[in-house]
Chains A and B, each alone.
Chain A
Amino acid sequence: MKLFAYSKQNELQGAVADTASARTAQQGADIRYIAGGTTLIDLMKLNVETPDKLVDITGLPLDKIETTSDGGLCIGAMVRNSDLASHPYVQSHYPVLSQAILSGASAQLRNKATTGGNLLQKTRCVYYRDTAFACNKREPGSGCAAIDGDHRNLAILGTSEHCIASNPSDMNVALMALEAQIVIEGKDGKRIVPIADFYTLPGDTPHIETVLVPGDLITHVIVQGLAPGARSLYLKLRDRASYEFAVSSAAVIVEMHGDTINDARFAMGGIGTKPWRVAEAEQIIKGKRGGADGQATFKAAAARLLQGARPLKENSFKVELAKRCLVHALTTVSS
């Protein structure tokens, strides 16, 4: 526990200026934005994050959900997870996003959590969250206790010998399938980063998780409009029925022509160091039959998505589970 300064910013530029002098925007940042606080305060209590200064951004005018000209969405970074999930347009046009959010955390947490904060929620790796243990993400160079330890819930894709932490978010899996664009206001103005480029792989710098640099403020998330009649769903598998992170999850979107899948996009959660999407896997099912007839192609797609998986002792079951998860989600959505 340590003392920190707190200020509240109601103006975009002011917020950016307040954090621009931070040493880093990644693990261990000395200045941090605080939104819902459901990730950050937790980690501060555990001494895993120890900022000197918090800039409260909940007063910023970024709490609107607007439809864009192509029928898509522009979601303010301060929009609460509950509001986003229950928005009528989201429910009717993007069931995958609504379902993903509602499958996560608890009602109380979703009421606090924001769109921007959710994008940046931290791994649930027990070694990361406990300063008594070695963790390259928390303390670069200290080692990874998880690889030979308790890693049932950790990643099998995108891992390195330095880190196997999984990205635990549900919302981000849906956003990955939706090819969301992240709008960032930074020291040098505004830029837009596709979500596929937003998260970085751990490699030998697991403490760096995104492309954000000091000052960067996520202001919006833009989701393009889906073709009329597009179907989507989110399937989350876990031990208990609610209030648990995914062991494996799938966000799937398809456009059907009769029984044929015209277009498909999907991403998976609970298995990767970031929300996992493989374009080649999607190619496999495009133009093929859906529903019960699609089993063979869905299995092939799942195998392709999981290609290169590096399962460890305790999480090897995720390979099979993830396959079933994707096949079932694709079968259901295309039936």
Chain B
Amino acid sequence: MPAKNIEHRIIGKATDRIDGPLKVTGQAKYTSDRHLPGMLYAVPVGATIANGTIQSIDDREARALPGVLGIYHRGNIGQIYRVPPDKGFDFKTDEARPPFEDDTVRYYGQFVAVAVAETLEAATDAASRVKVQYQAQTPNVKGRFFEENPKLKVESERGNATEAFTNATAAHKIEQIYSSPAQFHSAIELHGTVADYDGRQLTVYETTQAIGTHRNVIAAMLGLDVQNVKVISKFLGSGFGGKLWPWTHSVLACTLARDLGRPIKLVNTRKAVFHTSGHRPEIEQRIRLSATPQGHLTSIQHDYINHAAMLDKYVETCGEATKYFYSCPNVKISSAVAKRNVGSPTSMRGPGAVPGLFATESALDELAIKLGMDPVQLRIINEPQKDEGLDIPFASRHLLECYKTGAQKFGWDKRNPKVGSMRNNDGLILGWGTAGAGWIAERIPAQASVELGHDGSIKVLCGTQDIGTGTYTILAQIAAEELKVPLDRIEVKLGDTTLPPGPLSGGSMVTGSVIPAVQQAAQTAAKLVLSAAATAPNSPYNGVDEKELDFKDGMVHRKSEDAKAGVPFDQLLKTCKYKVITGKGQSAGTFGGGKPKESRHSYGAHFVEVTWQPETARLRINRVVTVIDAGKILNPKAGRNQIEGSIVMGMGMALFEGGRYESRLGAPINSNFADYVMAVHLDVPDLDVTFLEFANTDLNAYGARGIGEIGLAGFAAATCNAVYHATGVRVRDLPIRIEDLLTSQV
């Protein structure tokens, strides 16, 4: 559908979070804030080897401690079933093995036992006194995957990229390997579960981004009827993908609650989060590009390998954006996984495209330099007219506008391409780099309802969850917009599997998905109220044609009159003896359903300025201009926050973050916030974020798409490109470190 901009009252207005006051006054209940009567504490024991077998577990000392109820391990844990195979998201886990399934340890920190006690202190003490004997073998946590020459599986192919690359002249092609280390989500809120079983019903308070999936998996693994499992996630201290699929801590907590008949609280330590709750895998990518002397791409080859856990097969789909990003006749994308003694990787903000674009957008910069072209110009001439990967038109693509706007704001035309040639007023060397961003724009099935109560309440109900991004507020905005009432009239209920099933919080798809469902629910509720007004015996509008009535500012009124002249809807419901009138809404998904008719993505461009002081080998990001093409922005305040947050995460990805697996022990050795370095406030300069609001109404009537991930895509590449411009050092192995830059001749 063509782009059109509709006037809205509340949609598109910068809006404070409706749950903000709850959060800043400490009233928002997160999972670990739940304290149930009679609750026990569970503390897992993590393996201190990464590869081998458990020989024996001596729990005598631990069990003898006061307040300890038991130590559970393979020998005495209750029945845990496997999750049925499933291609979609309904039963998805990244670590499919039920905890304590066998005596094999396949990664460091794998849970081998769990202590249960009356207090957290007693359980922690007991866990530390469980003595586990191992038969240890050398773990394999090696990187440099291409050195092993693994068999690559072709993911996507058009034309003959190998031939085109071979035939290209050396001056017009590049071949490089890019790597990125394991990156950990490590959300501030630790992964945790409070599980309560009453003999029939299991209630699970969980740190999850997908209450529905969590319910299905737990029901399956515990052998319970899915109707008897309820999952609650009211607030999340962020997830970034690390809380999408159930992890072993939750299975253990629920099993113990089922078998001990008392509520169980299990909150992972920070270390256990690093060990057992997923990460973006370590990745190696090989990029081969060739072009005509004028810069037209003649071939792209993108091969990528990520590490995966021994029993699981997580694939980081790095080539996702490569398929459609540029115009190129010959493209070949292939992948492999490298089995390692690591906990399973999982989706992390922008899985696939984020590491993928780090490699391809770095490579494009290298090609531009080789061809002596401006990197923006190289992108402009390779702009595709359609999605050449799927041979379908783009629904909405404004990447070049992103570059144009960004270049203007940044002052790109003043760039001297010569390495180390630019300085600021403080005498620091400047480096300017740019890169593009792309991320899918899709919808997943969603249901919602809107309830108008005789007490004057207006409730939006949806079984999705707010992972800290502002979903509560967005749903309130949609309902307020559609019902033509002020925002503060709306109450939003999320995060409970007894609500109408809503989308999981992944893939930046919640907002786009819930809009049609909530719109429909709100419109239906309003219509039903009008129809009640027109038909109920006690109604002042009894007998009036429904079409002549309207619902506005919470008043039912004749269209011919001002809203003020009408009757408040709650009064009307009371008079007519309705307790509550409910409108329901539902929308189907677009994701994963075969070849689409149009290619739907969001886009963006980053411009990054770094400063370089060779005397001290000090590199800092000094200025960022980011332009995002993600459709209509429903709440610019929350929207900007998402992009800024992504940029800060991107700074971490580019300059600081990297999980280090101890080569002999296989342990993620920097498994805490002091040793896992990420950006802090002082690292973050002013961030200039612009949204180009081309509202494409394909996905929903507002023309909104997701914005949770797009801002991270391409940022690391833009930084690497800027660093090269400043220092002459091309860093292909993230993060960029002092030791890399010390080789600079600038």
Binding site for B on A (CB under 8 A): 1-2, 47, 124, 126, 130, 132-133, 145, 148-150, 235, 237, 239-244, 247, 317, 320-321, 324-325, 327-328, 331
Contact = CB atoms under 8 A, between A and B. Distances in A.
B616 A235 contact: yes
Contact of A239 (B616, B656, B682): B656
B616 A150 contact: no
B485 interface: no
Contacts of B33: none
Contacts of B683: 240-242
B273 to A, nearest CB: 16
B381 interface: no
A239 B675 contact: no
A26 B144 CA distance: 42
Given A239-B655, A241-B682, A321-B738, A133 B665 contact: yes
A240 B738 contact: no
B290 to A, nearest CB: 35
Nearest to B679: A240
A328 B615 contact: yes
Given A1-B124, A47-B128, A148-B664, A242 B681 contact: yes
A317 B617 CA distance: 11
A243 B662 contact: no
Interface string B701-741: 00000000000000000000000000000000000011100
A240 B656 CA distance: 7
Leading 8 A-B pairs by shortest Cβ distance: A317-B739, A241-B682, A242-B682, A132-B48, A328-B615, A241-B683, A1-B125, A243-B680
Contacts of A235: 616
Interface string B638-680: 0000000000000000011000101111010110001101111
Contacts of A130: 667, 669
Nearest to B124: A1
A52 to B, nearest CB: 15
B423 interface: no
A324 B617 contact: yes
Given A149-B662, A150-B669, A324-B615, A239 B737 contact: yes
Interface of B: 48, 121, 124-125, 128, 614-618, 620, 655-656, 660, 662-665, 667, 669-670, 674-675, 677-683, 737-739, 742
A126 B664 CA distance: 14
A219 to B, nearest CB: 30
B677 A317 contact: no
Contacts of A148: 664
Contact of A244 (B660, B663, B677): B677
25 contacts: A1-B121, A124-B675, A130-B667, A132-B48, A237-B617, A237-B738, A239-B655, A240-B655, A240-B679, A240-B680, A240-B683, A241-B620, A241-B683, A242-B680, A242-B681, A242-B682, A242-B683, A247-B738, A320-B742, A321-B738, A321-B739, A321-B742, A324-B616, A325-B616, A328-B615
Nearest to B681: A242
B271 to A, nearest CB: 9
Contacts of A331: 615
A1 B128 contact: yes
The secondary structure that dominates the A interface is loop
Contact of B617 (A132, A244, A321): A321
A325 B737 CA distance: 16
Nearest to A148: B664
Contact of B667 (A2, A124, A132, A243): A132
Nearest to B683: A241
A322 to B, nearest CB: 11
A324 B743 CA distance: 13
A124 B675 CA distance: 9
Contacts of A328: 615-616
A324 to B, nearest CB: 6
A40 B252 CA distance: 33
Nearest to B615: A328
Contacts of B614: 324
Nearest to B675: A126
B213 to A, nearest CB: 33
Contact of B669 (A126, A317, A321): A126
B94 to A, nearest CB: 25
Nearest to A133: B665
B742 A317 contact: yes
Nearest to A235: B616
A237 B616 contact: yes
Contacts of B616: 235, 237, 324-325, 328
B115 to A, nearest CB: 12
Given A239-B655, A239-B738, A321-B742, A327 B615 contact: yes
A235 B618 CA distance: 12
Contacts of A239: 655-656, 677, 737-738
Contacts of B682: 240-243
Candidate in B125, B620, B669 with the most chain A CB atoms within 10 angstroms: B669
Contacts of A124: 674-675
Contacts of A145: 662, 664-665
Contacts of B124: 1
A266 B679 CA distance: 30
Contacts of A132: 48, 665, 667
A124 B679 CA distance: 19
B125 A2 contact: yes
A327 B614 CA distance: 12
Contacts of B128: 1, 47
Contacts of B680: 240-243
Given A132-B667, A320-B742, A328-B615, A240 B677 contact: yes
Contacts of B738: 237, 239, 247, 317, 321
B5 to A, nearest CB: 41
Contacts of A47: 128
Contacts of A2: 125
B679 A150 contact: no
A325 B614 CA distance: 10
A149 B662 CA distance: 7
Contacts of B125: 1-2
Nearest to B614: A324
B737 A126 contact: no
A46 B128 CA distance: 10
Contact of A126 (B121, B656, B670): B670
Contact of B660 (A150, A243, A247, A320): A150
A328 B428 CA distance: 14
Given A240-B682, A320-B742, 19 more contacts: A1-B124, A132-B667, A145-B662, A149-B662, A149-B664, A150-B669, A237-B617, A237-B738, A239-B737, A240-B680, A241-B683, A242-B680, A242-B681, A243-B680, A243-B682, A244-B677, A317-B742, A321-B738, A321-B742
